[in-house]
Amino acid sequence: MSVLSPDPSSPEGAGGVPGRSRSPRPLLVFIGVLACLLAVLSVVDMFMPKAYDGVVPDPYSTGGIVVRDLVPGGAAEKAGLRTGDTVLGIGHRMLNKAAEAPPELRRHGAGEAVDYLVSREGEVFETKVILTPFRLGSASYFYFAFLGLLFFVLGAFVVSRRPEDPAVQVFYVLCLLFMLFFICRLRPSSYYWIDYVVQVAGTLALFLLPAVFLHFFLLFPAKKTFRFAERAAGVPPSARWLGTLQRFLNRSPLLLTLLYTLPPVLYVLQMAGAHQGRLRRLIYGAPTLNWILLADYLILGLLALAHTWWTSEDRAQRRPILVLLLGTVAGIVPFVVFAVFFPSLFREDRYLAWGVVPMAIIPLTFAYAIVRFRLFDVEVIVRKSLVYAILTAVVTGFYALCVVTGNALVSTVSSSTLLASPVFAFGFTLVVVLLFDPLRRRMQRVVDRLFFRDRADFQHALLEMSRSVVSQLERPKLRALLTSRTAELLRLESLDLLLPRAEDGAFADGSGAGAGLPALPMGAVLPRLVLEKGVPVRLAELDGWTLDADSRAFVTAAKRRPVTVLLPLATHGKLLGLLAVGRKRSEEELSREDLDHLLTIANQGALGLEAAGLHEELTKRAEMERDLDIAREIQTSLFPRALPRVPGVSFFGVSRPARVVGGDFYDFLEVDGDVRKGGRLGLVVGDVSGKSIPASLLMVAAKEIVYARAMADPDPGVVFREANRRLYDIKRRMFVSLAYFLFDPKILSLTYAFGGQPTPLLVRAGAGAAVEIPAPANRLPLGAFREVPYDTVTFYLAPGDLLLFYTDGLNEAMSAEMTPYGDERLKASFVRHARLPLPELADELLEDIRQFTQEAEQYDDQTFVLMRIG
């Protein structure tokens, strides 16, 4: 919402225009055309050659026309008339006042000799005045006409942009009245029928103008609300009549009616009084009291604007209002002083022009405020080249004026022949040439600051935002940039970003701000069409398109929101999202420039979205890498740093993880003292579901629990039951396959319990086959159920026995055809290489598996421990 636009959400609105009222455009156009016709009529009349005597009459004289001035070289001057003479009659008709001259002159043509009856210093004489063709439109009238045109252009421009805004409508009427006042009222009599028409129009404008002026400043920038009768809590209530007055001023439609009818009523009363001889004086055809009322209204209007400025807390709003206030005061105050009070109080209207000329400041100030501050939410694109051309022309004109003035001054004060010298002319030209460019540059800087700073700021902000969009890798921030910030920069009512939902890929507004816009399924026609067009698609255009039901539902909802344009966010032919662009706050159509900006932002946004996606993926991957590193470290720490040294027994362990981190482990522990001195040796082989830090941690936990329990009670079944309960409590739905073997070197016994692990393979010395050692009854993985009655099995070994403790990664290794390696192949391989030293045996086992799986990916860790007796 612009700082200077009324809040449409306000229940009363700025002017209370009912939403269902018909469009005011025809009425506004009619009024404008009518005013223009009158103005054109007046201007044509002023600049159309007519028979004229060159007498400038004193408008207030009676008993004849007192000659206040004579047009130099005019007919009257040639006929010998002098200032101060009284023209008693023209064309053999007696005249009482200046207003009676027009019909008389109208009867004659240019070049005709007309008899004038003149009184000079008491002597009456007749003289012939040969009327000359004359254009009444003087330089001052030309200025008035220009001023009127300026007002008209300003008013028409603003109303063409914001015809629905009540304040703009009143402003437009105000501009038209100013135009009529300047063009139809401040004009000399033309002695033609047009005079009657335009003077009546000018008088009407004079009556309406002050009221409209006040009306405008009661509406602008927002409807003024009077609160003088309100009291803070604890303060005694104000008088009842004050409350009534406040209600009247704030709500009653009679206020405006009163404002508008007072001047004409006053006029009628005074003119009625004039018939009874009570009217003392008319100033330019209007009674003094009307002029004073005009001044009062103007001052009240200025006070209303000053009050708005004073009470406004928004700095951004205060600045343009201050500019308007200063400009309007600079235009109005001289008018009130020289054009109203001087003629009214001192009966002096020679300085009328001094009061009218500065009024040009008013339209110029408004125009400046529109360009500079987007007054009325109207945006104007001022082309620099045009402004610079005007600037150059102004500077050139200024220099020309300097030359003329300089010459005039020098020739006045000096009779030197210097001026006649070509050296002087050359020197002067040189000075002008030298000074021209510096002055132009200096002024250009000022112009840039005055007119283009905001524009440049806007472009800069847009550029910055574009850069931010590309560099922003966080989606929420990117969304905010693409929606809120863009809407703010382009002054949009709404801007929604629709992105594919993770779950179904449908385009939806995930922010919740785009309430009312349904999701567009991935397969809907609309996203594809928008992508194919690749340019902004106006919603209105879609009416002619064949759409599926989802797209139609979306379009209907979008029109309700209202959305005006859809833009694709796409890269490399892939639609990453949709921008649903709402209306401009100014209610103007989106300009080509706006759409260009939006398309640029959409393209940048698409790149931003793509970059954000890549960034998210990379981040995930990096996080995974980090996790795996940690898991790997943990896992590495679980494997024994060195193999146990047991006399007569050799061990070898291998673990080949499937990915970066494996879930398998094995370890040795001395349960009851040094194994070399007869202590028992524990072997733990495990496999945790999942390959991650949690799996590793669970593995650590399982290992530590087993170790702790094993130290207290070395019976594997007991250890497993205890460990199972603890692991169940730690982590649900994550299991640990574990096998715990307690080897007693003294008696070569192996006591053990399994939990989800494959049964170890045994090759006896001289045997040609591998067998499984006896398996316990309960072999469920640890952590699957709270209570599992794990049992312990003891098996006695013999010298020459070769044992293979392994995880399922060996027998379940998959070929490319998804065929498992299988127990039989494992056993065969184990037997085949049983005579080899343990490290080589381990290599061959793995090589056989690799041969089987070929290039197929390894899905599970491959961990095993080899143990040979003797």
Partner 1 sequence: MVTSPRSLRPILLTLVVAGLAVAGTAGAYFMRARRDVTTSSEKAWKAYHEASENDLKMYEREAMSGYAAALQEDPHFVMATLRLADKMRGRDPDRAKSLLASAARYRDEITEREKLVLRIYEERWGRRDMAVLGKLFDEYVERFPNDPEGYRLRANHLSNVNRNEDAIAEYERLLAINPNYATAYNVLGYYWAERGDFAKAEDFLKRYRYLAPDQANPFDSLGEMYARIGRYDEAEENLLKALAIKEDFFASYGHLGSVELGRGHPEKAAAFFRKAADAASGPWIRADFQFLAVLALFDAGKTEEARKEFDEMTAEARTFPAGSEADSMALNTLFRRTVFLARVGDAVGAEAALEALEKAVPTEGEPEKMKGYARDLRFVRGLVAFKVGRFAESADLFGKVLSEGGPSGLGGTDYYSRTDTARILLAGSLSRLGRKDEAEKALQPVLARNPRYQPALDELARIHG
Three-state SS sequence of 651-669: EEEEEECCCCCCCEEEEEE
- Give the separation between CA 670 and CA 743, rounded to whole angstroms: 10
Residues 6 or more apart whose CB falls under 8 angstroms from that of 392 comprise 440
Shortest Cβ 126–partner 1 spacing (Å):
6
CA-CA-CA-CA dihedral for 324, 329, 330, 332, to nearest 10: 120
Give the integer Cα–Cα distance in Å for 12 and 869: 100
Among 248, 232, 249, 229, smallest CA distance to 240 is for 229
Q: Closest separation between CB of residue 372 and partner 1, Å?
A: 26
Closer CB to partner 1, 94 or 540, in the complex = 94
Q: Cβ of residue 260: shortest distance to partner 1, in angstroms?
A: 4
Identify the CA nearest to 853 among candidates 818, 823, 824: 818
Residues that bind partner 1 in the complex, under the rule CB under 8 A = 15-18, 21-22, 24, 27, 88-89, 92-96, 115, 117, 119, 122, 124-126, 166-167, 169-170, 173, 200, 204, 207-208, 211-212, 215, 219, 256-257, 259-261, 264
Least gap, CB of 299 to partner 1 (angstroms): 20
Closer Cβ to partner 1, 131 or 841, answer by number: 131
Other C-beta atoms closer than 10 Å to the C-beta of 562 total 14
Nearer to partner 1, 119 or 749 (CB): 119
Please provide the distance, in angstroms rounded to a whole number, between the alpha carbons at the two ends of the chain.
92
How many other β-carbons are positioned within 10 Å of the β-carbon of residue 49? 11
Q: Are 833 and 864 in contact (CB under 8 A)?
A: no
Return the DSSP state at 794: E
SS3 state at 49: coil
Closest CB 166 distance from partner 1, rounded Å: 4
Give whichever of 79 and 575 is closer to partner 1, judged by the CB atom: 79
| 14 or 361: CB nearest partner 1 | 14
- Tokens 């001054």 — which residue? 409
Least distance in angstroms from the C-beta of 280 to partner 1: 18
Residue position matching structure tokens 């061990």: 651
Q: Shortest gap between Cβ of 191 and partner 1 (angstroms)?
A: 18
Looking only at Cα atoms, what is the longest distance across the chain? 166
Torsion 503-508-512-517 (CA) sign = negative
Q: Which is nearer to partner 1, 115 or 504 (CB)?
A: 115
- Please choose, from the candidates 860, 846, 865, 866, the residue with its C-alpha nearest in 3D space to the C-alpha of residue 661: 860
Nearer to partner 1, 100 or 823 (CB): 100
Among 499, 495, 541, which residue's Cα sits nearest to residue 520? 499
What is the three-state SS of 237-257?
CCCHHHHHHHHHHHHCCHHHH
Q: Which is nearer to partner 1, 265 or 798 (CB)?
A: 265
CB of 203 or CB of 655, closer to partner 1: 203
Least Cβ distance, residue 177 to partner 1 (angstroms): 9
CB of residue 247 to partner 1, shortest distance in Å: 18
Residue 61, token pair as written in the block: 């004289």
Shortest CB 62 distance to partner 1, Å: 10
Q: Please identify, using beta-carbon distances, which residue of 169 and 472 lies nearer to partner 1.
A: 169
At residue 257, the 3 state secondary structure works out as helix
Distance set, CA 578 to CA 124, 238, 515, 548, 808 (Å): 91, 57, 15, 17, 50
Instruction: Provide the minimum distance between the beta carbon of 335 and partner 1 in the complex, in angstroms, as a whole number.
Output: 21
Of residues 100 and 843, the one with the C-beta less far from partner 1: 100
